[in-house]
Structure 1
Amino acid sequence: MLRIHCTAQDLLNVTVADHPAPLLELSLAFMALQRRDVPPAQGRWWRRSAKGLPRAARPLFQLLSPEGVGPLFLDPPTEGFEEGLESVLATSRARVRAELQRVCAAGLPVTPWLRSLADLDRTAWQELELALRAGYRHLIRREWPRLVSGFHAETAWRSRVIAQQGLQAAITSLAPGTRWRGTTLEAELPRDVEITLHGQGIVLLPTFFWTRHLLAAPQPDGRVVLVHPAVTPLSLHPLDPADDPLVTLLGSTRAHILGLLVHRRTTTDLARQLTMSVSTASTQTKALRYAGLVHSRREGKAVWHACTPLGLDLLVQSSAGQSR
């Protein structure tokens, strides 16, 4: 059983993640590959990925269990792979040892390679870097465009549930068996995990490779990332962005911008993320604003943009249409 003890402030600080996390998805993909009870919709991905998995990536199986157990330093919720890898390689010795002790106590075998990682052996950590790079190339990189598209549709829908039905409905619908007892969140889990929060809040993060129970990842800043299976599996999202009805309607750039604007962003933020000029980003948001899909507001020198209810509905309906 998972129990997360929240304060009133934590419940005021529940947010939806604003980007998918490539290293987290990589870890969850390795966990899923070790299971034999994958859903039918994921079967093709499982067979293809398991058959061609590079030898260099296989050491990660020693760190990640099919029950969702793994060291938290291995999958920081960063937006970019290289940024996340840099964070992994900079993990302190104390944290590495503490996390490896925790996952081994939860059932992972103590192997010579894990002992070498705990001792910060240079060769072992070079093998870890090679494993993460090889695993990312094989499992994540080719899926990333539709994973990002699916992520934006999922978080738009989840944000709308919070707005229309409230926080209780949004969180209890994350996975079967999830419930509230007062301000304590309970969820089914193969082992007992107790987490006590102190006001920093919860971040809801959908995943497209893990399809089972909720996973809770406490962060160094005091928040907990609550990882939950996406409503629409990755296999039901289009292989080609051109097959996305939202892309057909708006064009790929504006569809991407609309997905990003599930969370407020400035014109400069959009330009940076889409590697375009600020003036081009401004022109694109202007077109979306005239269509009633985005609203904009100037605060000081920055102009902030976000989806309107119509824009959110369009994202949600696009995702629902792809899954039928």
Structure 2
Amino acid sequence: MLRLRCTTEDLLHVSIAEHPAPLGELTLAMQMLQRRDPDPAFVPWREQIARQLPAEGRRLLQLVSPSGAGPMFLDPPSRTVEEGLDRVLSTPRAEVRAELKRVCAIDRPLTSWTKRLAEQDREAWKMLDQALRTGYRSVLAERWHSLRAGFDAETAWRAKILARQGISALFASLRPTLRWNGLTLEADFPRHLDLTLHGHGLVLRPTLLWSGYPLVAYYADRPTTLIYPALTPLPLLAPARAPDPLCALLGTTRAGALRSLITGRTTTGLARELSVSVAAASLHAKTLREAGLIVSRREGKAVCHECTPLGLDLLAAEPPRTGG
């Protein structure tokens, strides 16, 4: 049983993740690869990944468990692989040792490589860097566009529920995976995990590479992340080569802008997300605003943009699309 004991302050700071984390999704894929439950969506996917995953990528299986346990330093909330790798490789030694000790106590073997990672052995960490890069290229690189489209569709729908009906309806939409018992959020879980949040809030992050019970990344000094399975898993999405109807309608950059504005973002933040100039981001925001898809408001010297209900409806109506 999983129990998250929330305060009213935590409930006032419930949010939805803005983007998937590449290395976090890779970790979940490695966990899902080892499971043997007969989920019809993942059985052929497991067979395919097992065939194509090189030996270098398989090293990750020593660190992550089919039960969903894995070192939290392998799941940084980064937007890109390179940013994620920088964060992983700069993890403080004390955190590395504590996390490896935790996962080995659950069900991971204490291998010589694991010991060398805990001791900050340079060669062992080079092997980890290579394992993460190889794993991402083999498992996610070709499907990342599909994964991002599915993630955006999922979060757009949940954000629409949160905006129109509130927190209660948002969590009701996640039943029976999650349920409330007073201010305690409960879920079925393979082991007993009782955590008390400290008012920093809760971030809901969907994943397209896990099924069943939710997972949690708990932090004492910042928002806790609750990872739950999206309605449509990655194996059921159309491949990346499939046409993107939203891009066809708005253009690739403006479609990306609308997806990124599911949550509020300044013009500068939008420019950074799209890798364009601030002036170009402002122009794209103006076009979306005039179409009624976003609303803009001034906050001090900055202008913040976010989707309107019409924009959320448009995003919620796009893929997941089945691959036939």
Q: TM-score, normalised by structure 2?
A: 0.94
Q: 1:321 to 1:50 in 2, by over 3 A?
A: closer
Indicate the residue corresponding to 2:259 in structure 1. 259
Indicate the residue corresponding to 2:120 in structure 1. 120
Measure how far apart 1:228 and its partner are: 0.6
Kindly indicate whether the alpha-carbon contact (under 8 Å) linking 1:238 and 1:244 is maintained by their aligned counterparts in 2.
no
Q: 1:158 to 1:241 in 2, by over 3 A?
A: farther
Name the SS of the counterpart of 1:318 in structure 2.
coil
Q: 1:266 to 1:80 in 2, by over 3 A?
A: same
Measure how far apart 1:267 and its partner are: 1.8
CA distance in 2, matches of 1:320, 1:48: 21
Unaligned 5+ residue runs, structure 1? none
Is structure 2 residue 291 aligned with structure 1 residue 291? yes
CA distance in 1, matches of 2:175, 2:33: 20
Measure how far apart 1:258 and its partner are: 0.8
Q: 5 Å matches for 1:1-324?
A: 1-37=1-37, 39-174=39-174, 176-219=176-219, 221-240=221-240, 243-319=243-319
Q: 1:86 to 1:220 in 2, by over 3 A?
A: farther
CA distance in 1, matches of 2:27, 2:163: 31
Name the SS of the counterpart of 1:304 in structure 2.
strand
Kindly indicate whether the alpha-carbon contact (under 8 Å) linking 1:149 and 1:256 is maintained by their aligned counterparts in 2.
no
Q: 1:175 to 1:78 in 2, by over 3 A?
A: farther
Letter in 2 for 1:314: L
CA distance in 1, matches of 2:307, 2:241: 21
Measure how far apart 1:71 and its partner are: 0.9
Letter in 2 for 1:131: A
Count of residues paired in the alignment: 324
Name the SS of the counterpart of 1:276 in structure 2.
coil
Which has the larger displacement, 298-307 or 11-20? 298-307
Letter in 2 for 1:123: E
Measure how far apart 1:221 and its partner are: 3.2
Measure how far apart 1:302 and its partner are: 1.9
Which has the larger displacement, 229-238 or 180-189? 229-238
CA distance in 2, matches of 1:143, 1:175: 28
Unaligned 5+ residue runs, structure 2? none
Name the SS of the counterpart of 2:198 in structure 1.
coil
Which has the larger displacement, 195-204 or 105-114? 105-114
Kindly indicate whether the alpha-carbon contact (under 8 Å) linking 1:2 and 1:188 is maintained by their aligned counterparts in 2.
yes
Measure how far apart 1:29 and its partner are: 0.4
CA distance in 2, matches of 1:156, 1:323: 21
Name the SS of the counterpart of 2:26 in structure 1.
helix
CA distance in 1, matches of 2:147, 2:50: 19
Measure how far apart 1:147 and its partner are: 1.6
Name the SS of the counterpart of 2:287 in structure 1.
helix
Name the SS of the counterpart of 2:318 in structure 1.
helix
Q: 1:175 to 1:70 in 2, by over 3 A?
A: farther
Letter in 2 for 1:55: A
Kindly indicate whether the alpha-carbon contact (under 8 Å) linking 1:244 and 1:322 is maintained by their aligned counterparts in 2.
no
Measure how far apart 1:251 and its partner are: 2.0
Measure how far apart 1:270 and its partner are: 1.7
Q: Identical aligned pairs, as a percentage?
A: 53
Name the SS of the counterpart of 2:83 in structure 1.
helix
Measure how far apart 1:172 and its partner are: 4.3
Letter in 2 for 1:219: Y
Measure how far apart 1:321 and its partner are: 6.4
CA distance in 2, matches of 1:303, 1:116: 49
